Amino acid sequence: MIFSSLLFIFWFMPVFFFIYYLAPGKLKNIVLFLGSIIFYGWGEPKYLLLIFISIIINYIAGLVIDREKERILLKRGVFLLCLLFDISMLFLFKYINFFIDNINSCFHTEFSFVEVTLPLGISFYTFQIMSYVIDLYRGKVKAQYSPLKLGTYLIMFPQLIAGPIVVYGEVEKELDERKLKLEDIEEGIKIFILGLSSKVIIANSVGSLWDELDKLGYDNISTPLAWLGAIAYTLQIYFDFNGYSLMAIGLGKLLGFNFPKNFDLPYISSSITEFWRRWHMTLSGWFREYLYIPLGGNRKGKFRTYVNLFIVWFLTGLWHGASWNFVMWGLYFFILLSLEKLFLGKIISKMKLLAHIYTLFLVVISWVIFAITDPAKLLCFLKSMFIFKGGEDIIYYAGNYGLIIIIAMVASSGLLSRIFGKIKNKAVSGLICMGLLLISVAYLADAAYNPFLYFRF
122-138 helix and 48-67 helix, angle to the nearest 10 degrees: 10
User: Which residues in 299-333 are b (16+ Cβ under 10 Å) and which e?
Assistant: eeeeeebbebbeebbeebbbbbbbbebbbbbbbbb
What's the rounded Cα separation, in Å, for the pair 166 and 172?
Answer: 10
**Single-letter residue type at 157:** F
What is the reported pLDDT for 10? Answer: 67
449: number of Cβ within 10 Å:
11
DSSP state of 218: G
What is the reported pLDDT for 368? Answer: 97
What is the reported pLDDT for 166? Answer: 93
Catalytic residue selected from 108, 280, 320, 356: 320
Query: Could you report the average pLDDT of every consecutive run of 10 residues in the chain (457 residues)?
Result: 52 87 91 90 83 94 90 93 95 93 91 87 91 95 94 88 86 90 91 93 92 91 96 96 93 93 95 96 95 91 93 96 95 97 91 94 97 94 94 90 94 87 82 89 71 58
- CA dihedral 257→262→268→271, nearest 10 degrees, is 140
Q: Is 320 a catalytic residue?
A: yes
What is the reported pLDDT for 188? Answer: 93
What is the reported pLDDT for 429? Answer: 85
Q: Write down the pTM of the prediction.
A: 0.92
C-alpha angle 383-386-387 in degrees, rounded to nearest 5:
70
Q: Are 133 and 93 in contact (CB under 8 A)?
A: no
What is the reported pLDDT for 411? Answer: 94
